[in-house]
Structure 1
Amino acid sequence: MCGRFSVTLPNDAMAQLFAAQPANALPRVPNFNVCPTNAVHVVRSGETGRQLLPMRWGFLPHWYKTENGGPLLINARAETLAEKPAFRAACRDRRCLLVATGFYEWTKDAEGNRMPWYIHRRDGAPIAFAGIWQNWGKDDPNPTCAVVTTAANLTLSAIHHRMPLILEPDDWPLWLGEAGKGAAALMVPGNEEVLAFHRVARDVNSNRASGAQLIEPLPA
């Protein structure tokens, strides 16, 4: 799954990387502790090309009467994405990319304490999570999104059984619907050599924590 992540790439660099037109009110960066319900950086494709814009992380199906009208849907399983009533229309017509630098996962020690790990690309490049989006609300629609997840590859299975679906640049056009159909073929665990991870301090267990020290490796 994906429950917390970081994003440190400047907004103008994001727009250039994804060849997207940036919105005026993008979330502030760097943010080393992006939490559910925060505004996140999302790339989507439209009639005028790609857009980089903010969305609420927490997908809201149209039948939710309030933002708390049901479970908090920050993740969507790739295996059932096309079948779940909440996600199937978005899977077909509203796919997007969420921009990140790295993400966190947790294991537990013998006493049951939550031990955080920071996961990032070995090459230091930004990460593009596969996502889906949905406008929610009638009078003033609020764009919302979820990260698509898949079974963990062997690299990450040591710390968790799920992981975000990470897409390489060559796959972005297909996921965004710019290169025809066939995006379902992308919904598999990523290359074993792409990601690395290290233990970080438990400060990040708090959703109020901030700062670059959150991603620093613990001393050996």
Structure 2
Amino acid sequence: MCGRMALSLPQDAMAQLFQARPANDLPEVPDFNICPTDPVHIVTSTEDGPRSLSAMRWGFVPHWYKKPDDGPLLINARAETVADKPAFRDAVRVRRGLVVASGYYEWTKDAEGGRDPWYITRQDGSPLAFAAIWQEWTAADQSRLRSCAIVTTAATGAMTGLHHRVPVLIDPPDWALWLGENGKGAAPLMRAAADGVLGWHRVGRAVNSNRASGPTLIAPLRNGGDD
């Protein structure tokens, strides 16, 4: 699963890394507590133009919603069913993107039921590129909202100790295929990362609040306490 994330990569560095043209309305970075319904940085591609780095609402809005909160908040899409679910099946065929993050958070529970947060990153220090699907939704007043969901799959190996679901990561050699630039056949990319790709450490419980901010949220917790 992916329910909270952080991004510290400068916008010009993101644009260069993904060879994408940056939009003018990108969210400010760094942001160490990106929450559902916040705008996220997403890379998309079209057949007749360059890649774009733009902002989209994290929380996919199906076309039949009368307003963005007209139903469940769809921040994730399961890889096992994304091609069949009415909300997602068209998007996964023709509207795939890469949500950029430096890391994301997951939670475990202690003996008393308290929520202990962990910060998860790539061990090689490179940014995460989450497999995503997106859609443009049109309101009754004809205003438009672009939104996205992150594709998740079953966790494997050591990651199962943190959570049974993980976001699908797309490696650089596969970016073009996932974005639809290298034809079809992207379904095999919807798998868990191999053991050793990701690493994680405990962080303080301050991040349990969606109002918390600042780089201390991702600092390793060294004293064993709650803060």
* Residue in 2 that maps onto 1:110: 111
1:156-171 equivalences under 5 Å are 156-171=159-174
Offset, 1:191:
1.6
For residues 93-132 of structure 1, what are the alpha-carbon distances to aligned partners after superposition, in whole Å with 9 as ceiling and x for unaligned?
Answer: 1000000000000000111111100000111110000000
Report the AA paired with residue 156 of structure 2. Answer: N
Distance 2:102 2:158 in 1: 18
Report the AA paired with residue 10 of structure 2. Answer: P
Distance 2:207 2:155 in 1: 22
* Residue in 1 that maps onto 2:36: 36
Report the AA paired with residue 106 of structure 2. Answer: E
Offset, 1:204:
0.2
Q: Is the partner of 2:157 in helix, strand or coil?
A: coil
Q: 1:151 aligned to 150, 154, 159, which one?
A: 154
Q: Is the partner of 1:174 in helix, strand or coil?
A: helix
Instruction: Give the RMSD, CA atoms, in angstroms.
Output: 0.7
Offset, 1:147:
0.3
Distance 2:2 2:9 in 1: 19
* Residue in 1 that maps onto 2:216: 213
Q: Is the partner of 2:177 in helix, strand or coil?
A: helix
* Residue in 1 that maps onto 2:188: 185
Distance 2:163 2:136 in 1: 31
Count of aligned pairs:
220
* Residue in 2 that maps onto 1:130: 131
Offset, 1:193:
1.4
Cα contact 1:155–1:195 (8 A) shared by 2: no
1:57-136 equivalences under 5 Å are 57-136=58-137
Identity %: 62
List alignment gaps of at least 5 residues for structure 1.
none
Distance 2:156 2:131 in 1: 16
Q: Is the partner of 1:28 in helix, strand or coil?
A: coil
Offset, 1:170:
0.4
Report the AA paired with residue 183 of structure 1. Answer: A
Report the AA paired with residue 89 of structure 2. Answer: R
